Chain A
Amino acid sequence: MGYDSTMSNTTEDSNQGIDKQHLASHIKNLVDKYQLVPEFLKVRGLVKQHLDSFNYFVRTEIKKIVRANQEIRSTLDPNIYLRYRDVHIGEPSMVFDAVTEKLCPQKCRLSDRTYAAPIYVTIDYTTGSHGQTSVSTKKNVIIGRMPIMLRSSCCVLYGKDEDELARLGECPLDPGGYFVIKGTEKVILIQEQLSKNRIIIDTDKKGSVQASVTSSTEKTKSKTIIKMEKEKVYLELNMFKTKVPIMVVMKAMGMESDQEVVQMIGRDPRFSALLLPSIEECADLKLYTQQQALEFLESDKMLKMPSYSTGPIEKGARALSILRDIFLANVPVHQHNFRKKCIYVAVMMRRMMEAILNKDAMDDKDYVGNKRLELSGQLLSLLFEDLFKTMNDEARRTIDTLLARPSRSSRLDISQYIIKDSITMGLERTLSTGNWDVKRFRMHRKGMTQVVARLSYIGSLGHMTKISPQFEKSRKVSGPRALQPSQFGMLCPCDTPEGEACGLVKNLALMTHVTTDEDERPIMSLCYCLGVEDLEQLSPEELHMPTSYLITLNGLILGKHKSPQRFANAMRRLRRAGKVGEFVSIFVNEKQRCVYIASDGGRVCRPLVIADKGVSRIKEHHMRELRDGLRDFDSFLKDGLIEYLDVNEENNTLIALYEKEATPETTHIEIEPFTILGVCAGLIPYPHHNQSPRNTYQCAMGKQAMGNIAYNQLNRMDGLLYLLVYPQRPLLTTRTIELVGYDKLGAGQNATVAVMSYSGYDIEDAIVMNKSSLDRGFGRCIVMKKYSAICQKYENGTSDRIIKPQRQGPEADRMQILDDDGMAAPGETIRNHDIYINKESPTVTRTPVTSPMGLPDSAYKSSKQTYKGPEGETAVVDRVALYSDRNNNLSIKFMIRHTRRPELGDKFSSRHGQKGVCGTIVQQEDFPFSERGICPDLIMNPHGFPSRMTVGKMIELLGSKAGVSCGRFHYGSAFGEPSGHADTVDAISETLVKHGFSYNGKDFIYSGITGMPLQAYIFMGPIYYQKLKHMVVDKMHARGSGPRVMMTRQPTEGRSRNGGLRVGEMERDCLIAYGASMLIYERLMISSDPFEVQVCRKCGLLGYYNYKLKTGICSMCKNGENISTMKLPYACKLLFQELQSMNIVPRLKLAEA
């Protein structure tokens, strides 16, 4: 080194300069790559999984179903038939008075209709019968109405811009993905399931290792289990009564040579040793040939159902058909060639034995790669298939009965017998109840649909990404509830409910995509082109050669390949070039020596940036093109810069978080780390600084926060609507907030919070609020409730009527708010017991009346509807909507509005799972103030911090404070510091100092009461606070005397029935222990259900009081000689009587007290 010291100094400087540039360019890259996320969401929408699935169903799946069941042919006359040629779904519409009317979703919501579109088919069919038939074609025959998912390709909202949506009364931020059934919005929850057609190795209850396959094909669904029990291998299939020795099954499938079986499993002596007992068992049974094995399987002790077909069938044919069609139904058998199935069984056994020898080879059922998500499209297709088949069967049966009838007047027109209503009604019923009862597939599932939560915008978004579990919630297992490492990036690690469903109900992450089915035939032929050796050509010996890997496509073994890595690379290259579908996954499993190719639907996957030797394929110019609008997300996919990876394929990758961290081995780079969170968790600023459960709590609470629910919120008629009067967007935002539109439909307000103790009314998370802030509108909310009335038409032609209110008389003051049309007028203040509709119903509704329209007044009875609200609360009639419902009855909806300001006990929460109730409201002059004149809106007790460890909340406060001082919204995206999506505390502190605050966010505060400075500096600044829907007015309840239950004469239960407060068992125990006998007596009898009884001292039974004779009389002894009067609880008397009715005689023995 020949430099002198100064020179070296400068070079060092310049080095640093380069370094800085280098670093900066990296950061620039990363910031830019973020642009892909909004682009992704623009292309796919927030609920793309639902929409894609439904679109797939409507475009492809429904056609497949119709094609598979395209013919209705009479069993009596095979010349009479109906054939479906084509099916498509039209525009959403409804028929009203024989006029087809186009529908839009908002109209359906308001008038309680189903948003459905006709299913059109083109049919060829025969007319006439008995040889004189002619074929004709009909186009656009409606076979039913399909409920349409909002924003799907069939929906009128598809591809509409903001203005057009507004014209249709729709909120542009509403994601769609749900249905409107009879006016209610229903979402079909994503169902989590174990993947179909895959070998899963696990243990059963007894601990024995088993390999199971749940087969699912268009025709059948079955579950096949091969298990090792008492060192022998058996097959379990529910067509067989008992477990079947596996060697018998192999022999029945034509694998008569034991040696071949051993070869197929592999020549490893350990495998042979494990198989030996099974081979011996088979030999003991003296089964050597296929025929013998089949006959053994068909014997009564094996086969479950006796043969019901009467005709003499070949021996062993039934067993063979079971083996062909039900046993491992996913492996096709062509022309009795069972070889593939045998190999499949062998592979199953091999994997099972591997697991026995090495426990690590066991499959993890909770592994996300072994799971499939069932979406609305798949569920609807199951339902539609069943209904379609039922309809066709019914049509066939009707035709057959008609044909069987000897004389008919008209020509037989088969096209008239496809009944439209069964499909329409079936779909509607299933979607509105959520009960999937598909007998054909033995499917009985409940609660599949839910009413979309419209409490807050984020709540409804979160609802669409919710995944309901496969297990029932009551099971006390920890495995499925635990956070799986394979969930990374696919499912949100934070968003899960607390309590029984904890960990079972999950939510999708922001960028997750759920695949739809893809045709596997082209992939299959492509595999063979790429050098996969077909199974048919392989000898058993060659199957498990150490040099080759098995190639599996969707669980089906295609063959083997000598150089799997090259094969996989070739496949991936083809996928990146767009020759194979982008969602096809290629996964090389080195442990199992297999290459798994998957194209089936329901896999979760996510986009990642492809890197070559650690260098990202996305370059600066790509991002520039994206910014200039020359590119979109799809072009990135098409050009092979980005690809979708599913959970399995992720195992073959090395993913770098940032490009700067990439090594030469890196194959992919994350787009943005905050996308591992879902929609709800994305609202939390700095979630990575919080204790994990706090984020989970916030995910649950964000859904209860009040705010704006949609742009069209005031035009909707929701049953219950909570709105904030002055909602704000958070000062500390995240990228997710911007992406999902929370900044446009916020649910909270930026409150200036002082973290200090004040007044003692802030213990246990209570918060102290500033009265002036409340006066100025902080936390003010509007609660709207819907009341509806129907002017019913009855079968005898009569109908309800709404009449003019009485302006005089006893009812007049309760009818003050009614207009002359008998309905409450908008803008009127409505009080408890006020009548909001003056309706009358006819007394006779069944039997025919002479003039149903001109009934006399006496034929009506009043059926006014009265408003029941809290006393003293002034609610207002907001809107009155009249419409005719599906049955053409006049219906009226009333929205009753109430504006509430926060009061003692209302619940508030920050975005960090820190909820608290309002403990006291304090005058502004008593509130502490800073010398700048800043006075907090809220005081929060500092004890909320140490145990909760919500550091994110503190950073939020700092960041918001810096934000208001410098006038720039600060960011706090998850893990966003390195990529610039979260402001660092350093930077924030600098801003604070620049604006004259202390770097630590603490202020010098004076007491408002004394005017003296407080001893400590107070951590003060804005925090986004949410008002939660739990408010005192809705819960407050007290009762003196009130209604009682008729049967027991005890006070009613529950606030809604003005019920009493129960002294329960535990309270009673306390009083007993304390010896407060009089109090117990008073609570349990005097104040509850005291009852005076006449007791006969002789027989010990209850008598009665004869008011004529003025004595008590025992009905048993027939006299009143030994009667005593005493008090006991009415419930006690009831018990005696109930016992007596059961032939048990309770007798009272009285003693002087």
Chain B
Amino acid sequence: MEGVSYQRFPKIKVREVKDDFMKFELRDTDASIANALRRIMIAEVPTIAIDLVEIEVNSSVLNDEFISHRLGLVPLTSERAMSMRFSRDCDACDGDGQCEYCSVEFYLRVKCLSDQTLDVTSKDLLSSDHTVVPVDYSDASSSFDNTPNKGIIIVKLRRGQELRLRAIARKGIGKDHAKWSPAATVTFMYEPEIYINEDMMESLTLEEKTELVESSPTKVFGIDPENKQVTGKCMIVGNPSAPPGIPLCGSRWPNMIWDYASGEIPCLFFEKVIVVDPEAYTYDDEVLKKAEAMGKPGVVEIHAKEDSFIFTVETTGAVKASQLVLNAIEVLKQKLDAVRLSDDTVEADDQFGELGAHMRGG
């Protein structure tokens, strides 16, 4: 099928954005694109992290490597990262921290002079560049605890102990070390499509319906309290969430229930099972298995939409969540450009066969 274009125009619909959290829908594309985006967010969006530590004095209980490792994992604000140079590509310097294009210098000078244990935190890191500082979480979390936020603890010092060091932060990507990964969590799920066969559902008793609803470990289904329409043969019991009362024995209507609470005359109601939150569904198949066990396979049908994804992105704070997505798309574009540019080298690559492709892919 030559000449057929498979071009699609993926759409993003943002549902929720916070500084370090974002939820959006990605539609009209397939898993490869969605996954590429996810992978880039984790591994290839550059950030800045401490990469070299020169320790001058360390009389703390933790050893030099330990502290260096901890420093490396402190997230630094990295809005500048996209425009910075990789230290290895920088021709202006030799990566000694003096170079404004590729590195940022930090100092940490703390000594404990009091009898109380002193916490050395990321707040004590003094940056030479005000745009690259340790991430401040104070405003985000102050809402629910009012202890003064002191940043990320690096080490605790006892009286007389001292820590003095110089650190150089560099640009890097998560592929090289997890400290450069801006993503705390990047995940997506296929959007589920849930179809309830109303006719079959009607044939279930209330107990069966609640059982079916409760069989899902997550709150996907619910019994609709709003849908109180009185039909010719069914009426609703006052409070559907109350435990089911004693069914009237010998009744033609097993759904018919005494309502002791209101003292009302028994009425017949029709409870509707509705989908409360389709995205809560974890593809656990529990509901389907339950339906099958009840002898009603097909009462609920669930499919994954092949072309629509719900992304959840949480960042470490190094980059804003929204920026992370944009950066990821930017990196993806750069990579695609790289592939396109290397078209003319295909001939040269042919002699390597499959190996050539790998070499290009890096």
Contact = CB atoms under 8 A, between A and B. Distances in A.
B127 interface: no
A714 B282 contact: no
8 contacts: A776-B178, A876-B63, A924-B174, A931-B189, A998-B282, A1011-B32, A1011-B35, A1011-B38
Interface in B204-254: 217-218
Contact of A775 (B32, B34, B178, B185): B178
Contacts of A1012: 31
B217 A996 contact: yes
Contacts of A1013: 190, 283, 304
A883 B185 CA distance: 52
B34 A1011 contact: yes
Contact of B187 (A777, A782, A930, A1009): A930
Interface stretch (B64-72, B153-161, B291-299, B319-327): B64-72
Interface string A1006-1020: 101111110001000
A923 B40 CA distance: 12
Contacts of A878: 63
Interface in B279-326: 280, 282-284, 286, 304, 312, 314
B101 interface: no
Nearest to A774: B178
Nearest to A900: B65
B166 interface: no
Nearest to A1004: B283
Given A998-B284, A1003-B282, A1006-B189, 10 more contacts: A725-B69, A773-B178, A775-B179, A777-B73, A876-B64, A923-B175, A925-B175, A931-B282, A931-B312, A1010-B31
A772 B174 contact: yes
B54 to A, nearest CB: 11
A925 B58 CA distance: 36
B63 A782 contact: yes
Interface in B15-50: 31-32, 34-36, 38-39, 42-43
A1017 B55 CA distance: 48
B38 A897 contact: no
Interface in B160-203: 174-175, 177-179, 181, 185-190
B61 interface: yes
A503 B237 CA distance: 69
A932 interface: yes
Contact of B181 (A772, A992, A1004, A1011): A772
A933 B32 contact: no
Nearest to B310: A931
- Give the interface residue-count category, chain A: 35 or more
A883 B177 CA distance: 43
A925 B65 contact: no
A860 to B, nearest CB: 35
A987 to B, nearest CB: 15
Given A897-B63, A931-B189, A1013-B190, A925 B39 contact: yes
Contacts of B177: 775
Contacts of A1017: 284
- B interface SS class: mixed
B66 A998 contact: no
A992 B217 contact: yes
B43 A924 contact: yes
Interface string A863-903: 00000000000001010000000000000000001010000
Nearest to A994: B217
A933 B175 contact: no
A780 interface: yes
A876 B65 contact: yes
B31 A1008 contact: no
B215 to A, nearest CB: 10
A993 B282 CA distance: 12
A771 interface: yes
Interface string A968-1004: 0000000000000000000000001100111100011
Contacts of A1009: 35
A479 interface: no
Given A931-B188, A933-B314, A924 B282 contact: no
Nearest to A899: B65
B34 to A, nearest CB: 6
Interface string A904-944: 00000000000000000001110001111100000000000
Contacts of A780: 69
Contact of A772 (B55, B178, B218): B178
A827 interface: yes
Nearest to B187: A933
A1010 B43 CA distance: 15
Contacts of B69: 725, 777, 780, 899
A930 B186 CA distance: 10
Rank and list the top 3 A-B pairs by shortest CB-CB distance, nearest first.
A1011-B35, A933-B185, A775-B178
Contacts of A771: 178
Contact of B42 (A924, A997, A998): A924
A997 B284 CA distance: 9
Contact of A925 (B32, B42, B282): B42
Contacts of A993: 217
A776 B312 CA distance: 22
Contacts of B66: 725, 782, 899
A929 B187 contact: yes
Contact of A923 (B38, B43, B189): B43
Nearest to A1007: B35
A780 B178 CA distance: 14
Given A1010-B31, A1013-B283, A996 B218 contact: yes
Contacts of B32: 1010-1011
Interface in B118-165: none
Contacts of B283: 931, 1004, 1013
Contacts of A932: 187
Contacts of B42: 924-925
B57 to A, nearest CB: 9
A725 B179 CA distance: 17
Of A771, A772, A1011, A1012, most buried by chain B (CB within 10 Å of CB) is A1011
Interface in B250-296: 280, 282-284, 286
Nearest to B214: A993
A782 B55 CA distance: 19
Contacts of B187: 929-933, 1006
A924 B178 contact: yes
Nearest to B185: A933
Contacts of B61: 714
Contacts of A899: 63, 65-66, 69
A515 B165 CA distance: 58
Nearest to A773: B178
Nearest to B284: A998
Contact of A1010 (B35, B65, B190, B286): B35
Contacts of A772: 174, 178, 181
A924 to B, nearest CB: 6
Contacts of B190: 1013
A1004 B58 CA distance: 47
A415 B164 CA distance: 63
A479 B117 CA distance: 59
Contacts of A931: 187-189, 282-283, 312
A714 B62 CA distance: 10
B58 A827 contact: yes
A998 B216 CA distance: 8
Contact of A776 (B31, B64, B73, B189): B73
A1010 B190 CA distance: 13
A780 B284 CA distance: 35
Nearest to A874: B65
Nearest to A784: B63
Contacts of A725: 66, 69
A933 B186 contact: yes
A999 B282 CA distance: 13
Contacts of A775: 177-179
A891 B10 CA distance: 73
A899 B67 CA distance: 12
